[in-house]
Amino acid sequence: MKATSPILRRRLLALTLAAACVGSVYAAAPTVAPASKPDVVADHIDTSVKPGDDFFEFANGAWLKSHPIPAEESQWGIGQVVQDELYAKLRKISENAAADKSAKPGSDEQKVGDFWTIAMDQPLADKLGITPLKEELSRIDAVHDVNSTLDEAFALQQIGVGLFFDFALSQDEKQSDVMAVHLWQGGLGLPERDYYFNQEKGVAKVRTAYVGHLQRVFHLLGKSDAEAAASAKQVMAFETALAKVSRPLADLRDPEKNYNKMAPADLTSTYTPSIAWNTRLAGWKLPASTVIVGQPEFFKGLQALLSKTPAPVLRDYMRVHLVDAYASYLSQDFDNERFSFYGTTLNGQAEQKPRWKRALRAENQALGMILGRIYVKDYFSEAAKQRYNTMVEAVRTAYAERIDKLDWMSPATKAKAHEKLEAVTKKVGYPDKWKDYSKLTIGRTSYAQNMMNAARWEFDDTVAKFGKPVDRSEWEMTPQTYNAYYNPSNNEIVLPAAQFIIPGFTDDQIDDAVVYGYVAASTIGHEITHGFDDEGRQYDAKGNLKDWWTKEDAERFKQRADVMVKQFNAYEPLPGLHINGKASLGENIADFGGIMIGLDAFKKTEQYKKGEKIAGYTPLQRFFLGYALGWLSQEREQQLRTGLLADVHAPAKWRVNGPLSNVPDFYQAFDVKQGQPMWRPEDQRVKIW
């Protein structure tokens, strides 16, 4: 998985699991003799489906049919099973901390224990109601013009309420050893700008439901029915205008077009006369001489909206965004209203997850690295860390050999590709240096107050990096995060400890074929390939946005990538809604590249060379079944719709069938014939890495 931009850092959940060395690392699987266990992949197969017709359903169908989506979930698959296992471990850590009466004030144990205790106290949250937000709501009440609007908007940004625009302090894309201020389009309540315009009937229903949600929030805040209806309509109109000046999702993946460096004073004079950026940034203790603006036209549009929008509408816009940001930590009426729209309408969940799971989700957000430090001590070994470090090197070697064999890339570009590949840093398991949370105050005043304290601490921690050397050892994910990522500015792959969980099996019960499909292909190879996808390839070995391709090679790459765009554009998971081939191109290239590289590495193993069947399947077949296992998932129509409009990842089914339809060894392994849905003429297959 990869961020769509340096400002958003959208690490959306990806079911890219790693599957080896689990039993010796995690005490998760029951003690069962290997012979008595179902096969790790064969047990999931639906033999009524032909592999060449729909490999995803063939590989995963039996499991999906016998495991319907629970009412509290918007999707269900191996990722959620792993997540439940993680929750059980983290709950134990939290409950132990809460029970520890000897924890010293300010210690990790005190912070975890107090956070857990107060997060689980529903009666207290109900008693407090909206009180934890009273101070901020009072400041919003005092807003009377554009300047006072901006005073409060900049203050709310510090507690995680993204009003009008998004802000981040991250590496300068063209000078990766310098931390830079980034300003990006934002401020919307719906997941993505196209939600405000797409005419598909399901999206239209979401728009209507969103206005209803806004109206109910205003009613909870004390407005009459008529006042709430009017406010909701006006906020929706404001956000629609904001969406209109925002770039579409696919256009946010062009790093050059989204890199516009200028002095803050020039941003003010040219685009936003109402926002004195030098003064505003100084208020955040950011005396920046330059800022990197993602979408200058958005800020010009924002200026026009600020100038013509009445103060009461701006107040209502800020109120509803503040409440939505903190509703999950307030009384049940606010919590239920937020869930009704964002949980049920957008994602199809029939009911809320139990409070303890929601508390853990918030605790991970607020105290992630504190929990992570305890988690890896209890559940992740140094031996496991070393094993996956070794696996990364095996995949790196296979990638280098594949680069050498490319017939479309010139020697000059190959040399640069090798330089970048060799420079890729691997981070496995957990950080070598842990974050210092000593300045974070966690108490028992209120759940929302703890979340505000955590958000403010994170903001201050981020701002404190300005003017200092880039800390390339820092992690953007906690060890207990079920995910992985590639960071182009650091030219690194990051594989958290929790990524190496597969429930129900120990390492000696999983053969190399499945491990290579499940780990080397869908995780390690995938993340390394992000350094060479349509966006990542534009960064050099040092993480700088710098063209290292010959003009001819770049054109050949684009021609090959365009084949993949066309393929995915043709997929229509819901009537009238296709996959966005351009927006999802980076992930699709990474999936395809990961498979090809993982397969190359697997072909060096003894299991592949021997060719012996296990559970009736050859090593090559089991490799592809292992890859499909990593995407074992089904989702509700509402979440599928949300993903198609707002996610740069294709849905799980097409992350299997899409790339595999381009892999020659897949055709051989399952005897895919012309006329079957997954068959493509050879001259229409993607051939990149």
Q: Tell me whether domains 39-68+388-422+505-684 and 143-329 share a fold.
A: no
| pLDDT band at 36; cut points 50, 70, 90 | low
pLDDT, tens digit (0-9, with 9 covering 90-100), for 300-339? 999 999 999 999 999 999 999 999 999 999 999 999 999 9
pLDDT, tens digit (0-9, with 9 covering 90-100), for 581-605? 999 999 999 999 999 999 999 999 9
At the topology level of CATH, where does 39-68+388-422+505-684 sit? Collagenase (Catalytic Domain) (3.40.390)
What order of strands is seen across the sheet that includes strand 260-262?
A: 165-172, 175-185, 291-293, 260-262
For residue 262, count CB atoms less than 10 angstroms from its CB and return exposed for 0-12, middle for 13-18, buried for 19 or more: middle
pLDDT value for 383: 78
pLDDT, tens digit (0-9, with 9 covering 90-100), for 90-121? 999 999 999 999 999 999 999 999 999 999 99
Average pLDDT, the chain: 93
Class of domain 143-329: mainly alpha
| pLDDT band at 507; cut points 50, 70, 90 | low
User: Which residue ranges make up each domain of the chain?
Assistant: 39-68+388-422+505-684, 143-329
Average pLDDT over residues 271-298: 98
Assess whether pLDDT exceeds 90 at residue 29. no
pLDDT, tens digit (0-9, with 9 covering 90-100), for 334-388? 999 999 999 999 999 999 999 999 999 999 999 999 999 999 988 888 877 887 8
- Residue 103, token pair as written in the block: 């924890």
Contact 358, 198 (CB under 8 A): no
Average pLDDT over residues 438-444: 96
| Segment (H or E) for 458 | helix 447-463
pLDDT, tens digit (0-9, with 9 covering 90-100), for 481-491? 989 999 999 99
Contact 118, 286 (CB under 8 A): no
Cα end-to-end span (Å), the chain: 17
Distance CA 591, CA 424 (A): 18
Contact 318, 305 (CB under 8 A): no
Assess whether pLDDT exceeds 50 at residue 53. yes
Assess whether pLDDT exceeds 90 at residue 616. yes
Assess whether pLDDT exceeds 60 at residue 448. yes
Contact 400, 421 (CB under 8 A): yes
